[in-house]
Amino acid sequence: MTRAILAGLTEFALTALVIGLVILAVLVPLALSQPDPLEVLRLFVLGPFGTIRHMGNILEAATPTMMTGLAATIIFRAGMFNLGVEGSFFLGGLAAAATAVLLPLTGLIATPAAILIGALVGSLACIVPGYLRVRFGASEMVNSLVLNFAFLFAGVYFLNYVLRDPNAGALMSYKLPGDFTLDRLLQGTRLHTGVIIAFVACLLGGIWLYGTRSGLNVRIVGWSPGFASHLGLASSKLLMQAQIAGGLIAGMAGAIEVLGLYSRFSWTGLPGHGWTGITVAILARENPFLVIPAALFLAYLQVGGDMLARNLDVPSEIVGLVTAAIMLAVTAAAIFRHPAFLRLIRDIKGKEAGEEQGA
Amino acid sequence: MAEGPIVSFRGVSKTYPNGTVALTDATFDIRRGSIHAICGENGAGKSTLMKILFGLESPSAGQVLIDGAAVDTATPDFAGKHGIGMVHQHFSLVPILTVTENIILGHEPRRAIFIDRNKAHRQVVELTQRFDLAVDPDARTDTLSVAAQQKVEILKALSRDTRLLILDEPTAVLSPPEIEELFNRLRDLCAAGMTILFISHKLHEVRALAETVTVLRAGKVVGTTPLAEVDDTTITRMVMGRDVDVPRRQRQRTDAPVVLELDNVSTRARDPADRIEDISLSIRADEIVGIAGVDGSGQRGLVGVLSGLMRPASGSIRLDGTDMTRAGTPGWREAGLAYLPADRHARGGTAALSLADNAIAGTDGDKALQWGPFLRRGAIRRRVQQMIADYAVRAGGTGERLDSLSGGNAQKLIAARELAGSPKLLIADQPTRGVDVAAAALLHGRIDLAARDGAAVLLITADLDELLRLADRVLVLFNGKIVADLANHPGLTPAALGPYMLGLETAA
Amino acid sequence: MIEFFSAIADPAVFATVLRVMTPLLLAALGVLISDRAGVLNIGMEGIMLSGALIGVLVSAATANPFLGLFAALIGGGLLGALMAFFINGLGTQFIITGIALNMAALAATTLGLFLATGDKGMSGALKSGVLPNIDIPLLGGVPILGPLLSGHHMLTYLAILAVPAVAIMLARTPFGLHIRAVGSDPKAAAAAGISRNRVQLYALTLSGVLGGAAGAYLSMGYVSWFAQNMTAGRGFIALAAEVMGMGTAWGTFAAAAVLGIAETVAITMQTKGLPSELMQMIPYIVPAVMLTVYAARRQAKARKIS
């Protein structure tokens, strides 16, 4: 058992090393272009830990991506490359706002009802491409990619013709009634109770995947369809269950984001948290428990980037570059499937003591 | 042109990095302009030999001589340079391309930056005429019949000044008239000066076509001899090996009730491995029926209809009196099927999951392991630890990944899962292939035990030793049919099975 | 219906259709080449965006729009080659590689714009070169046809010429044959001595060059400046056009034309205050439907065989 932990730590160490190198490779040239390079590095790396408020900002930024990361994890675990998470997030937010504007709900049931409707409507963007794959064998990847935009424009139409407040200057919905909100948790930030939902969702997702029969069956279908058919598992049903679960979570994430942060709904483009969720899932190696630190890490980079932008006039987009590079580096088979690394892991697991290998 | 043999193997050996010895000290000549057959069981070393000759692998020792000169085979375009063409058992044609495009692929005639389509067309027409192999040069390859695709494959192999043509089991996918036509074309080619190397399991085909045969067994050349000088019995003996007597299984009861019955079951399928014709058989409790036959004789089809992976086109199947003809996999498993699949990497378990997860997969609803939807991890660990102990699986712990186990230990774990809860029918498909001796002995003991506990057992194996050791009755499959139904007794030897397996005799 | 055709025949409307179609067509042909080689270029959006910025920056720095275009083509090609290096050299998955490229390009172009101009939103301060329109000498004088066919942007003509060029390349050249072989059956191609890595490298590079041209058109033809995320999903529409085109150059051309008309109608509707969003959905719904119908038919056919 200890050997397995040691091997896991070795893999983690390599991941951390690769990520560190990637960050430096992107950041150092940029820092050198600035008058005070060391200040750039210090602000980016240490800045987010500077105050409670900044740490609150990290949690705030990680709230939606924890949930989209969890959604993508569940979908990928079933062996599907369904990118509908982005569309589900958008639709979920829209449906929650529509619930708030259109339905005469008040009191304690208002917010849960909006989140539930957001989840249900949002799940469509994952369910449709998933179903077309399971039923007809159409590529879920291409279908989800294009249908995300179809859902976006359908949503914008709905916003423009149903929810739009004609008295507001720009294209945005009527104000969401006061009962439709999530409580703020920390002064000076927009951190709201949604973060608790996100944490709990990831923990429940991990317990489901590793602790229940259906979680086990989904992992079997995703990893080896041949073994699933040998066992007589209902593969299509399990695949659809995973797409539905992922869609519900992503839709819920969108609803929580809208209710937690905004007083009006005003998205006219895809918000991008679904894409980040895919990055989170990949970084977390498709493990729901690791989605939490992975989302927090990407949020930490985001806050670091924002601080650079605010204090040194360095654009925060640098973070997008870092994230993309990390995404490629941690999936590179040339690094993590390198024969030398695999041999090292095997030696650590196989031999009585792995210490001499570590050196 | 040089005289003497076109190809000579001199002490050629091949040991793979993982330690598998595929070929030992192979020495023989291939006479120029002859049809030379290579015979041997699965795993005898035929395909390794061909890979070396086709330039895909290099020998670890020994030399290959072409026209009397030693050559280094694993060099780029080796086959093209020496005029060696190969017709693979699984065609290497791109389905969406036309016949012409497939034939010229990789060495297109050019005019400026374009493919010279007129020249390409001419070349292909000329090839089809010269070798009398008629195919439409402009047809899309995936619209052709299998026999026509094979012609394309042969034309492709002949398209580059080929002097030596290798055919790997070319008749497996053909009907008898198509085989006859293929043989006529090959004889014509030979008459025109081509050397042909013909790899086959089927002795009557070898005899019908070839002049000389080289027999391989367990990676060694048993002999090379003109076919006119040997009779079938001798060749069969060369292929099968000396008769070594093995201890037989002692059956407890011979009057136990019939568990599995197949009546005239047939399947329709493109692939001959999936095709069975008019199979009738019954297996009693405490009976092990062994299936012998060269690979691809219909074994996969037989296992398919008995596990719900395929549906019979006609006939009926009963298990314990219940009709199972149209049952799917869940139905079969529900009815008490245990199945050790031949492709255990893809179908026996999930490499990336833990031993515990693999060992309890498919036990949905087992109250001892589940509390509502939740898995009882403690109970599962104890159960799997017990399985590991019972089957002597050498593993670090129940949390290890399946792919951390050796092949033998992984198979023991799969057997532990499948044999849990006294099955009614056990299908053991190549249960000990690639498994170490100790693990094989344990698995044999467990299969025997399952039968004693009342299971009907279907054993499919290419290992004739194993077959004779375990089976109470041996059925031989050839071209999807049962050609022999033999009671196992100490007089039954691999050599006695040979004529049926090679399609020379029937006794059903 | 007659109204519709007479509207299209109006030179101004026809010109709008061509303007909208040009970047889609260039990019979709790029996607087509990559798809036929078995590595669908999901990163087209990012390549277009990069091409757009490079074109503006280089043309402004050299005061020569043709150098700007050239640089955009080179830049696009290099990005395509980089994708191939990641996919076949480092073993990343092509879908993830494309997503990462889109993400990186959005960030890098914003960053590049900022470093060059000090502005993150738009390149207003930079004087971008503009690629010329071409008047076809004799045709320009012909009534009706002349105003329709002459005087369009040079990249519009290039895009239309690229259709037969790509079709012929795929059908008639050894390279095209190798692309089709590798994309359809890499094992069989390898047995014929064709290297998948090399073919995919060239295919993605070419795909990137076309994407660079599409991007240069956006910033040096459609408009004459660069704005953050100015591609606004056109790379994905190009992907959709390629899917609608069923893997052929002429089909892709037809799809790009249909999508161009749809977007023109959407623009017209918008100016008249009609709901343009529903029109904007078309380029995304039609390919999904076609892809699904195509897959369903293939599945039915496969069932019949077995």
Helix (H) or strand (E) holding C122: none
Separation between Cα atoms, residue A79 and residue A76, nearest integer Å: 5
Helices (H), chain C: 2-9, 11-36, 44-62, 65-84, 94-117, 145-149, 154-172, 174-184, 186-191, 196-217, 234-244, 249-271, 277-305
Separation between Cα atoms, residue B183 and residue B160, nearest integer Å: 21
Q: What is the pLDDT of residue A16?
A: 84
Question: Same structural domain for residues B117 and B228?
Answer: yes
Residue where a domain stops, chosen among B240, B262, B291: B240
3-state secondary structure of A102: helix
* C206, amino acid identity: L
The pair phi, psi for residue A179, each rounded to 5°, is -70, -20
Bridge-based pairing state of the strands B370-371 and B374-375: antiparallel
Contacts of C191 in chain B (CB under 8 A): 88, 92
Of C92, C104, C275, the CB nearest to A320: C104
Contacts of B93 in chain C (CB under 8 A): 185, 188
Helices (H), B54-91: 78-82
Helix (H) or strand (E) holding B281: strand B279-284
Q: Do A149 and C233 touch (CB under 8 A)?
A: yes
pLDDT of A278 higher than 80: yes
Q: In the structure, what pLDDT confidence band is assigned to residue A310 with cuts at 50, 70 and 90?
A: confident
Q: In the structure, what pLDDT confidence band is assigned to residue C306 with cuts at 50, 70 and 90?
A: low
Contacts of B50 in chain C (CB under 8 A): none
Which chain B residue's Cα is nearest to C194? B106
**Six-digit token pair at C144?**
């009706």
Contacts of C284 in chain A (CB under 8 A): 146-150, 153
Q: Do A142 and C92 touch (CB under 8 A)?
A: no
pLDDT of C141 higher than 70: no
Question: Same structural domain for residues B139 and B125?
Answer: yes
Q: In the structure, what pLDDT confidence band is assigned to residue C11 with cuts at 50, 70 and 90?
A: confident
Q: What is the pLDDT of residue B240?
A: 77
Transcribe B448-502 into DSSP letters.
Answer: HHHHHTT-EEEEE-S-HHHHHHH-SEEEEEETTEEEEEEE--TT--HHHHHHHHT
Residue where a domain stops, chosen among B422, B451, B468: B422
The structural domains of chain A, with segments of one domain joined by +, span 1-34+315-359, 53-313
Q: What is the pLDDT of residue A359?
A: 27
Closest-CA distance of chain C to residue A132, Å: 7
Least confident among A223-232, B65-74, C16-25: B65-74
Which residue range is the domain that position B256 belongs to? Answer: 244-336+423-508
Tell me what the mean pLDDT of segment A147-157 comes to: 93
The closest alpha carbon to B53, from B66, B44, B67, belongs to: B66
Hey, which bits of B327-411 come out as E strands?
337-340, 370-371, 374-375
* A291, amino acid identity: V
Mean predicted lDDT score pLDDT of chain C: 87
Separation between Cα atoms, residue B445 and residue B390, nearest integer Å: 12
> Taking the mean position of all CA atoms in its chain, how far away is CA C160?
12
* C223, amino acid identity: V
pLDDT of A341 higher than 50: yes
Contacts of C172 in chain B (CB under 8 A): 114-115, 117
Least confident among A124-133, C39-48, C63-72, C270-279: C270-279
Place of tokens 């993150």: C120
* C173, amino acid identity: T
> Do B87 and B157 touch, CB atoms closer than 8 A?
yes
Closest-CA distance of chain A to residue C133, Å: 32
The closest alpha carbon to C76, from C243, C167, C206, belongs to: C206
The closest alpha carbon to A279, from A259, A297, A260, A305, belongs to: A297
Percentage of chain A beyond pLDDT 70 is 96
Tell me what the mean pLDDT of segment B227-246 comes to: 78
Q: What is the pLDDT of residue A358?
A: 31
> Taking the mean position of all CA atoms in its chain, how far away is CA A320?
14
Separation between Cα atoms, residue B254 and residue B435, nearest integer Å: 31
Percentage of chain B beyond pLDDT 70 is 98
- Per-residue CA distances from B397 to B308, B344, C143 (Å): 33, 21, 85
Which chain A residue's Cα is nearest to B343? A226
Separation between Cα atoms, residue A38 and residue A266, nearest integer Å: 39
Q: pTM surpassing 0.90?
A: no
Separation between Cα atoms, residue B144 and residue B135, nearest integer Å: 9
The closest alpha carbon to A131, from A243, A18, A279, A292, belongs to: A243
Question: Same structural domain for residues B303 and B378?
Answer: no
The pair phi, psi for residue A212, each rounded to 5°, is -125, 165
Sheet holding B35-39, edge to edge: B84-87, B164-168, B195-200, B35-39, B212-217, B220-226
Percentage of chain C beyond pLDDT 90 is 45
User: How many CA atoms lie less than 13 Å away from B130 in the CB half-sphere?
Assistant: 17
In a domain, B2, yes or no: no
User: How many CA atoms lie less than 13 Å away from B125 in the CB half-sphere?
Assistant: 7
pLDDT digits (tens, 9 = 90+) for A284-304: 989 999 999 999 999 999 898
**Six-digit token pair at C154?**
């040079």
Q: Do B96 and C180 touch (CB under 8 A)?
A: yes
* B456, amino acid identity: A
C120 touches chain A (CB under 8 A): yes
Question: Same structural domain for residues B457 and B502?
Answer: yes
Separation between Cα atoms, residue C232 and residue A142, nearest integer Å: 18
Q: Do C284 and A146 touch (CB under 8 A)?
A: yes
Q: What is the pLDDT of residue B152?
A: 92
Q: What is the pLDDT of residue C271?
A: 75
Tell me what the mean pLDDT of segment C8-37 comes to: 89
Q: What is the pLDDT of residue B245?
A: 66
Question: Same structural domain for residues B121 and B17?
Answer: yes
Contacts of A216 in chain B (CB under 8 A): 357, 360-361, 375
Q: Tell me the domains of chain C and their CATH numbers.
A: 2-305 (1.10.3470)
In a domain, B1, yes or no: no
Separation between Cα atoms, residue A317 and residue A206, nearest integer Å: 32
Q: In the structure, what pLDDT confidence band is assigned to residue B98 with cuts at 50, 70 and 90?
A: very high
Tell me what the mean pLDDT of segment B85-92 comes to: 84
Contacts of B81 in chain C (CB under 8 A): none
Q: What is the pLDDT of residue A350?
A: 61
- Exposure b/e, B234-254, CB count within 10 A at least 16 = b: ebbbbbbbeeeebeebebeee
Q: What is the pLDDT of residue A222?
A: 92
The closest alpha carbon to C56, from C209, C212, C206, C210, belongs to: C212
Question: Same structural domain for residues B226 and B363?
Answer: no
Q: Do C96 and A328 touch (CB under 8 A)?
A: yes
Cβ-based neighbours of A58, under 8 Å, separated by 6 or more: A48, A296, A299, A300, A302, A303
Q: In the structure, what pLDDT confidence band is assigned to residue A353 with cuts at 50, 70 and 90?
A: very low
User: CA dihedral defined by C218, C221, C227, C232, rounded to 10 degrees?
Assistant: -30
pLDDT digits (tens, 9 = 90+) for B185-201: 899 889 988 999 998 87
Q: In residues, how long is chain A?
A: 359
Of C168, C184, C306, the CB nearest to B94: C184
Separation between Cα atoms, residue A125 and residue A149, nearest integer Å: 10
Cβ-based neighbours of A3, under 8 Å, separated by 6 or more: A348, A349, A350, A354, B396
Q: What is the pLDDT of residue C2?
A: 59
The closest alpha carbon to B65, from B3, B9, B1, B27, belongs to: B9
Separation between Cα atoms, residue A125 and residue A99, nearest integer Å: 18
Q: Do C181 and B113 touch (CB under 8 A)?
A: no
Bridge-based pairing state of the strands B69-71 and B61-66: antiparallel
Q: In the structure, what pLDDT confidence band is assigned to residue C302 with cuts at 50, 70 and 90?
A: confident
Tell me what the mean pLDDT of segment B163-172 comes to: 87
Contacts of A211 in chain B (CB under 8 A): 374-375, 377
The pair phi, psi for residue B448, each rounded to 5°, is -60, -45
User: CA dihedral defined by B492, B497, B499, B505, rounded to 10 degrees?
Assistant: 80
Of C91, C280, C287, the CB nearest to A146: C287
Q: How many helices (H) and strands (E) does chain B have?
A: 17, 24
Q: Do A327 and C99 touch (CB under 8 A)?
A: yes
CB contacts < 8 A, A to B, total 76
ipTM over 0.85? The verdict is: no
Q: Do B92 and C187 touch (CB under 8 A)?
A: yes
In a domain, B311, yes or no: yes
A63 or C221: which carries more pLDDT confidence? Answer: A63
Transcribe B150-213 into DSSP letters.
Answer: HHHHHHHHHTTT-SEEEEESTTTT--HHHHHHHHHHHHHHHHTT-EEEEEES-HHHHHHH-SEE
Q: What is the pLDDT of residue B19?
A: 67
**Six-digit token pair at B139?**
């047809």
pLDDT digits (tens, 9 = 90+) for C240-252: 889 888 889 999 9
How many domains does the structure of chain B reveal? 3
Question: Same structural domain for residues B216 and B355?
Answer: no
3-state secondary structure of B309: coil
Q: What is the pLDDT of residue C138?
A: 67
Residue where a domain stops, chosen among B188, B216, B240: B240
Q: What is the pLDDT of residue A351?
A: 44
Q: What is the pLDDT of residue A352?
A: 35
Mean predicted lDDT score pLDDT of chain A: 87
> Taking the mean position of all CA atoms in its chain, how far away is CA A182?
20
The answer for C 281-300 residues in CB contact with A (under 8 A) is 281, 283-285, 287-288, 291-292, 294-296, 298-299
Mean predicted lDDT score pLDDT of chain B: 87
- Which CATH number fits the domain that encloses residue B296? 3.40.50.300
The pair phi, psi for residue C227, each rounded to 5°, is -125, 150
The answer for C 177-206 residues in CB contact with B (under 8 A) is 177-178, 180-181, 184-185, 187-189, 191-194
C263, β-bridge pairs: none
Contacts of B379 in chain A (CB under 8 A): none
pLDDT digits (tens, 9 = 90+) for C278-288: 878 888 888 88
> Do C85 and C105 touch, CB atoms closer than 8 A?
no
> Taking the mean position of all CA atoms in its chain, how far away is CA A30?
27
Q: Does domain A53-313 have CATH number 1.10.3470?
A: yes
Of B92, B110, B270, the CB nearest to C174: B110
Least confident among A103-107, A143-147, C162-166: A103-107
